[in-house]
Structure 1
Amino acid sequence: MKLSLPSFAKINWSLRVLGKRSDGYHELCTVFQTVSLCDRIDFEVSENLSLTCSDPRIPTTADNLILKAAERLRAAAGISLGARIHLEKRIPSPGGLGGGSSNAAVALIGLSRLWEVDAASILPQLAAEIGADVPFFLYGGTAIGTGRGDVIEPIDDIPSGQMLIVTPDIAIPTAEVFARFRAETLTDTDQNHNLSVCRAEAEKLRPAVSELVNDLEGIVFKAFPEVARVKMALEEHGAVNAVLCGSGASVVGVFDKKETRQTAEKALDSESTWRKFAVSAVSRSEYREGLGL
């Protein structure tokens, strides 16, 4: 048996760091959105579990989240089946676009189908164990992420228009960014109030006109000035809005016209180390259809 599935990237329409929880983690409220930029993962039944990748820079050892997902699924299902997995990589890694997390979630979905495991009830828990962003990719579309970003609340799709993602050739260590963030310790009352306000803001968000806020931008832009330059360049070339994706280094620009986006993309050709991706939002229904859910 063989199957091939898309593994979509994500952006963050907003990312608020609400404070530090009693367990040491930061309490987040973020609005996730899947976009059309995607990897592709091929699965085939095999005696052993193996992974190959089109990009030689991506490790295919046990540290890869695809293999971690496979091992967790096998352990949870009590099986020892194998699979030959190939990752056709297009999402920049690293880049703040959730490529590895998306790959892990799609591996859980694809392998449960390949191995004929009824795993629907356990996939959210397995996804959360692998990484904070992984659970979102079981849903797709537009969703609010709270907790560490791993508690997912799907919301109505947000109209977003034309978008251009720009990724400079910079690797930003997420853990270091959060370590530099000075956040006050939250009480339970603070936490509940902040989350309530954040959810209300998320449901009113309109990317072309709302202020897009990522609380990590100040730290990232100070430590990596080229990322700040990406955002400025997008705005200078006609983006009506732009915001850092996750902890970076990708920045997404929102344009009111396709022609303006095309002009901006062409103007940025002079930046030889910046990768550019013209994308559109992927709704929840489109996401589910693409993955056969």
Structure 2
Amino acid sequence: MTTIKATAPAKINLTLHVTGQRTDGYHLLDSLVTFAEVGDVISATRAVDMRLTVSGHFAVGVPTDESNLILRAAEALRSVRGITMGAHLHLEKNLPHAAGIGGGSSDAAATLKLLAELWDVDPLPHDHDAVVALGADVPVCLRAPTPCRMRGIGDHLTDFTALPRAAMVLVNPGVEVPTPATFQGLKTKRNPSMGDLPTGATLPEFAAWLNEQRNDLHPPAAAIAPEIDEALTLLRNQRGVLWAGMSGSGATCVALVKDMGAARQVARPIQIRKGSWWVVPTPLLS
């Protein structure tokens, strides 16, 4: 039987402005989202039933029942497209849990694309109700690897193809930060939006623009996990780092550098100093 594979890349919020909250509880966001080359790997084989197995460095704790977003995404596609067949899915879990880099959402989005190919049906568009219902980050992850400006509850996307070429260093200090608790810790949920994006900027100009932006979830996340600020300090003290910030609701921190050579040089001393942390140099996809 034919098995096909797809990578679910880490989702990186270079900015994350919380601009409001709807009456139904959903938060309104304005975020510049890009993707890293590192990610989980999902494989799928046609089958009569639906089944999920998991391996990889971060496999422990990943559910394999219907609570997993991968299987929820599969069932959503089956329902919308009227599919009766199943699939055996396997997740190689390479990304840390509750890390602010969209691991579950990216897995779900990759599954939607993978199974549309496996079952030979039209893929679901990012703004389909069934996709939006899976979670705020699933629509933008369905656009990967294209960088996007994400607004609304994650359903209003605008491609942003003007990112300068760069690399990143991802640092997760090994602490999980629950997203609901981070949002609850916000002092205000009505903050200014990003404004205009820097079209045509050089990498130093783009980094300077990023330094003027925010991640509104950083303060409440750092209150839960002080290791976030420790990671940011380590990154900012490394030569060659043009910008560093927290992705999503944390605890993964991101440094922007000029190329993979610089990324490896930034990552190495942190890997040596913090052997238990997840520290990965990776290209910035665009």
TM surpasses 0.5: yes
Q: Could you say which residue in structure 2 is the equivalent of 1:59?
A: 63
Q: Could you say which residue in structure 2 is the equivalent of 1:281?
A: 284
Q: Which runs of 5+ in 2 are unaligned?
A: none
**Letter of the 2:188 counterpart:** A
Matched, 1:20 2:21: yes
Q: 1:122 to 1:215 in 2, by over 3 A?
A: closer
Cα displacement string for residues 93-126 of structure 1 (whole angstroms, at most 9, x for unaligned residues) = 2211111101101111111121122244587332
Q: Which runs of 5+ in 1 are unaligned?
A: 187-193, 284-293
TM-score (norm 1): 0.86
SS in 1 for 2:37: strand
Q: Could you say which residue in structure 2 is the equivalent of 1:3?
A: 4
| Greater alpha carbon shift after TM alignment, 263-272 vs 81-90 | 263-272
Q: Percent identity?
A: 30
CA contact (8 A) 2:126 2:143 kept: no
CA contact (8 A) 1:208 1:255 kept: no
* Corresponding residue to 2:158 among 147, 153, 158: 153
Cα displacement string for residues 192-246 of structure 1 (whole angstroms, at most 9, x for unaligned residues) = xx55xx3514657754322142111111122211111000100012222101000
* Corresponding residue to 1:246 among 245, 248, 257: 248
Cα displacement string for residues 62-106 of structure 1 (whole angstroms, at most 9, x for unaligned residues) = 111100001111111222211001111112222111111011011
**Letter of the 1:108 counterpart:** L
Matched, 1:228 2:232: no
**Letter of the 2:251 counterpart:** A
| Greater alpha carbon shift after TM alignment, 142-151 vs 46-55 | 142-151
Q: 1:15 to 1:123 in 2, by over 3 A?
A: closer
Matched, 1:32 2:27: no
Q: Work out the number of aligned pairs and report it.
A: 274
SS in 1 for 2:96: coil
SS in 2 for 1:130: coil
Q: 1:56 to 1:15 in 2, by over 3 A?
A: same
More helix by share: 1
SS in 1 for 2:281: strand
TM-score (norm 2): 0.88
| Greater alpha carbon shift after TM alignment, 204-213 vs 162-171 | 204-213
Q: Could you say which residue in structure 1 is the equivalent of 2:216?
A: 215
Q: 1:99 to 1:184 in 2, by over 3 A?
A: closer
Q: 1:267 to 1:182 in 2, by over 3 A?
A: same
- In the alignment, the residues of structure 2 paired with residue 71 and residue 216 of structure 1 have an alpha-carbon distance, to the nearest angstrom, of 32
**Letter of the 2:232 counterpart:** K
Q: Could you say which residue in structure 2 is the equivalent of 1:291?
A: none
Q: Could you say which residue in structure 2 is the equivalent of 1:165?
A: 170
Equivalent residues in 2 for 1:100-119, closer than 5 Å = 100-119=104-123
Q: 1:229 to 1:135 in 2, by over 3 A?
A: same
| Greater alpha carbon shift after TM alignment, 199-208 vs 108-117 | 199-208
Q: 1:9 to 1:241 in 2, by over 3 A?
A: same
SS in 2 for 1:61: coil
- In the alignment, the residues of structure 1 paired with residue 125 and residue 25 of structure 2 have an alpha-carbon distance, to the nearest angstrom, of 28
- In the alignment, the residues of structure 1 paired with residue 69 and residue 231 of structure 2 have an alpha-carbon distance, to the nearest angstrom, of 29
